[in-house]
Amino acid sequence: MSIWKSPKTPQEMNTLHEATMVQHLGINFTELGADFVRATMPVDQRTRQPYGLLHGGASVVLAETIGSMGAGMCIDMREFQGVGQEINANHVRAARSGLVTGTARPVHLGGRSHVWAIDIVNDAGKLVCTSRLTVAIIRRGALGA
């Protein structure tokens, strides 16, 4: 059974992120399952730190991007919006090249908050980073101008 209230195709997700940091880093949404969202990101000059390794901050951007997209698709976007409240990341393996793939799955889908677990793996399927994202669910317009 699907968890989505406002589902989007991967192409729609990619179009939504045109002209943003997400597009600049080469993040590409690839799959929407019944209970997960998946996207890839290249390990290249845009996402590496000076020692040639995937920058931890880039992994966090990938994690928050996928988790936030998932949270948005689980709510009625006409009435509510999700805003990132907290994120953590454990970097467990270096990546130097290729693509990393992040998969976000909900841990908790409440009326006021969501918690998402995001695992990022390398081309060999080995864990590079595991992250947890908390998203506050607020009424549209609550943030003001």
DSSP letter for 25, please. Answer: T
Rounded Cα–Cα distance for residues 91 and 49 (Å): 14
The residue count for the chain: 145
Q: Is the dihedral of CA 108, 139, 3, 119 positive or negative?
A: negative
Which of 12, 31, 64, 79 does the annotation list as catalytic? 64
CA-atom Rg of the chain in angstroms: 15
Asked if 64 is an active-site residue, the reply is yes
Residue 2 near residue 73, CB atoms below 8 Å: no
Q: To which H or E segment does residue 96 belong?
A: none
Instruction: Report the 10 Å Cβ neighbour count for 52.
Output: 10
> Which residues are marked as active site?
64
